[in-house]
Amino acid sequence: MQDRSPLRYARSTLGLKLLMAITGVVLFGFLIGHVAGNLLIFLGPKKINEYSKFLHESPGILWGTRLALLAAVAVHVFAAVTLTKRKADARPVPYIGKTPHGSSYASRTMMWSGPVIALFVIYHLLHFTTGHAHPKFDPHDVYANVVLGFQRWPVGLTYILAMLALGLHLSHGLWSMLQTVGVNRPHLEPALRKISIAVAALLIAGFIAVPVAVLAEIVKVNP
């Protein structure tokens, strides 16, 4: 009798792709919420500091979100690594010369953009969450933390480059998710590709707007 257990399905190639799609939706939802919170900085110190205070005074929301994200990231990475290994095992002898056909640059760079994003997330947490990588961290003044952090151009530039890598990763991730859940159809493919790129670009523009505004002194700490 064939084993039709959920665990066996989850370990199948299709199951792993579905897990990547589901966790991708979770992570994408977080990014939307995160960029919305970040953009509050353009409304001044009071708004973004009140938002931060609300989160820290709501431990259920804060830690529930953190645990859900941690689980989503763990499953997403596990599925990605497993699928990549299976693909490599299926062709133990690499092509002598390979010209990509039908694949985008974003899809071909998923396995390096992912680790780059992971390393950045660790730095980002040390910089703005725990303060260990911030020269003048104040847990009660998010506005000042962001401005003083991004005033150092190497930090601002690093953040911008990391966001571009995220955009590259996300543009293919959204497209792949649509394929996995069966939204894609041959006649819809060009439009869905463009929509995936546009959504990723819009989201990343929101993230990049903050360090750019600080470096341009549009957003600054009042003396």
Find, among 194, 28, 167, the residue nearest to 109 by Cα: 167
CATH number of 128's domain:
1.20.1300.10
Residue at 125 is within a domain: yes
Q: What is the pLDDT along the chain (223 residues), one digit of tens a residue?
A: 455 566 666 678 888 888 888 898 899 999 999 999 999 999 999 999 999 999 999 999 999 999 999 999 999 988 888 887 887 776 665 555 555 545 565 566 666 777 888 899 999 999 999 999 998 999 999 999 999 999 999 999 999 999 999 998 888 888 788 777 777 666 777 788 888 899 999 999 999 999 999 999 999 987 5
Q: By residue range, what is the domain housing residue 79?
A: 6-92+104-215
Residue spans of alpha helices (H) in the chain = 6-11, 13-38, 45-56, 59-90, 105-108, 110-124, 142-150, 153-180, 189-215
Residue 187 is assigned to a structural domain of this protein: yes
Identify whether 98 is part of a domain: no
Would you say residue 1 lies in a domain? no
Alpha carbon distances (Å) from 196 to 51, 79, 175: 29, 21, 6
State how many domains the chain has.
1
Is there a domain that residue 129 lies in? yes
- DSSP string computed for 137-172: --TT-HHHHHHHHHTSHHHHHHHHHHHHHHHHHHHH
Is 196 among the domain residues? Answer: yes
What residues have CB less than 8 Å from 42, skipping those under 6 apart?
213, 219
Residue 127 counted as domain residue = yes
pTM for this model (two decimals): 0.84
